[in-house]
Amino acid sequence: MLKAIVYVTLRESVLDPQGSAVKGALHSLGFDEVQEARIGKYMELSLGTSDREQAKERVTEMCEKLLANTVIEDYRYEIVEV
Amino acid sequence: MRAAVIVFPGSNADVDMFNAVEDIMEAPVDYVWHSETDLSAYDVILLPGGFSYGDYLRCGAVARFSPVMEQVVKAAEAGKLVMGVCNGFQILLEAGLLPGAMLRNTSLKYRCKISPLRVVNADTPFTRDYAADEIIDIPIAHGEGNYYCDETTLATLQANNQIVFRYEGENPNGSVDNIAGICNERGNVLGMMPHPERAVHTWMTSADGKRVFTSILKTWREQNSATAHA
């Protein structure tokens, strides 16, 4: 069986207000080395298939259709054995 | 004229929208559940505010796949008037009926207050009873109203006069070009974050939203009599 691990983050060109707030908080705690913080989403999808190629194709479609809004977000994923 | 107020699980401004139509347009109006697959009886389709599907994943992302949305797209393509307010605007963006997307307010705060707006385009079916550049007071209530689009899209919106409302004075959410509301190129689909349906009587603090509804009615009457005489 396969599992897809999907990461969705705001595109580089889009200002991330949550990331900016977290960066500010880290700075105020003394973690001055933090140059940028980006907040995103992490999703785990258990797939009822063992066909890797098919899984990739389907997960790409899921990301494009629903999981990410490509106007503002980028996505990437890993397919892992479980 | 018959209006539909689409109700999704989690809509909460549907009653306000329904009452505004009844009070101002004095037209028949129905609540239409998101599972409905026929909107042929309706001339005007209204998507109210709220938190459809709990705003899970992204605001409007799940609602846009409701069965009724296919019909909303068809109605928009047929030239019927479609207006989405707040969460309704977010759903129209996710559905691709309007360009762009919503981000969290730059303040990260949920803003709930009266917001002055400038009527940028008073030549749409939704704003014809306003004067161009008129400043009106309309309430806002949102945490994700930070409208975003890329520069090319923004240039297109500006060139086609698709920016219908801009925030005047303080921009409450950080939206691109102070955008509060936009329409599609054809002008029959409007999305706006502020709530005109919550400003239709003086006891509501402002009655400035009333003319959105009178504009819609006037447009419909005109289109209808044109058809009758054709």
Domain ranges of chain A: 2-81
pLDDT in tens, B186-196: 999 999 999 99
Tell me what pLDDT residue A80 has. 97
| Polymer length of chain B | 230
Q: Cβ distance B37 to B78 under 8 Å?
A: no
Tell me what pLDDT residue B102 has. 97
Angle, CA B2 vertex, CA B26 and CA B4 arms, to 5° = 105
The residue written with tokens 């999981």 in the block is A67
**Interchain contact, A69 vs B61, CB within 8 Å:** yes
Residue B40 has pLDDT above 80, yes or no: yes
Q: Please identify every stretch of chain A with a pLDDT value under 50, giving residue numbers as ranges.
A: none
- Name the residue facing B108 among A17, A67, A72 (closest C-beta): A17
Q: Tell which of B56, B150, B151, B153 to mutate to test the A interface (max A CBs under 10 Å).
A: B150
Contacts of B107 in chain A (CB under 8 A): 17
List helix spans (H) across B127-188: 151-159
Q: How many Cα atoms occupy the beta-carbon half-sphere of B132 within 13 Å?
A: 5
Residue B228 has pLDDT above 70, yes or no: no
Q: Which of B162-166, B183-187, B224-228 has the lowest mean pLDDT?
A: B224-228
Residue B86 has pLDDT above 80, yes or no: yes
- Name the residue facing B106 among A17, A66, A72 (closest C-beta): A17
**Interchain contact, A15 vs B104, CB within 8 Å:** no
Q: For chain A, give me the number of helices (H) and strands (E)?
A: 2, 3
The residue written with tokens 């599972």 in the block is B35
Identify which of A67, A4, A43, A38 has the alpha carbon closest to the alpha carbon of residue B61.
Answer: A67
Average pLDDT, chain B: 96
The band of B225, judged by pLDDT with boundaries at 50, 70 and 90, is confident
**Interchain contact, A15 vs B103, CB within 8 Å:** yes
The rounded Cα B65 to chain-centroid distance in angstroms is 19
Q: Cβ distance B144 to B90 under 8 Å?
A: yes
Spell B36-63 as b/e; 16+ CB within 10 A means b.
beebeebbbbbbbbbbbbebebbbbbbb
Strand order in the sheet with A73-81: A40-47, A2-10, A73-81
Q: Among this protein's residues, is B168 annotated catalytic?
A: no
Q: Which tokens belong to B216?
A: 């819609």
Is the ipTM here above 0.95? no
Residue B227 has pLDDT above 70, yes or no: no
The band of B224, judged by pLDDT with boundaries at 50, 70 and 90, is confident
Identify which of B6, B36, B34 has the alpha carbon closest to the alpha carbon of residue B21.
Answer: B6
Q: Which tokens belong to A40?
A: 């995103």
**Interchain contact, A71 vs B148, CB within 8 Å:** yes
Pick among 3.40.30.10, 2.20.25.90, 3.40.50.720, 3.40.50.880: CATH of B3-229? 3.40.50.880
Q: Cβ distance B72 to B39 under 8 Å?
A: yes
Question: Which entry of B59, B86, B149, B183 is annotated as an active-site residue?
Answer: B86
Question: CATH code for A2-81?
Answer: 3.30.1280.10
For residue B193, the tally of other CB atoms under 10 A from its CB is: 32
Calculate mean pLDDT across residues B202-222.
97
Residue B212 has pLDDT above 60, yes or no: yes
Q: For chain B, give me the number of helices (H) and strands (E)?
A: 5, 11
Q: Among this protein's residues, is B142 annotated catalytic?
A: no
Calculate mean pLDDT across residues B203-225.
95
Residues B181 and B191: their CA atoms lie apart, in Å, by 5
Residue B229 has pLDDT above 80, yes or no: no
At residue B170, φ and ψ (nearest 5 deg) are: -70, 130
Residues B86 and B172: their CA atoms lie apart, in Å, by 14
Tell me what pLDDT residue B215 has. 98
**Interchain contact, A17 vs B174, CB within 8 Å:** yes
Q: Cβ distance B149 to A71 under 8 Å?
A: yes
Q: What percent of chain B has pLDDT over 70?
A: 98
Identify which of B52, B89, B123, B117 has the alpha carbon closest to the alpha carbon of residue B191.
Answer: B89
In sequence order, what are the residues at sequence separation of 6 or more whose Cβ sits closer than 8 angstroms to the Cβ of residue A65? none
Residue B226 has pLDDT above 80, yes or no: no
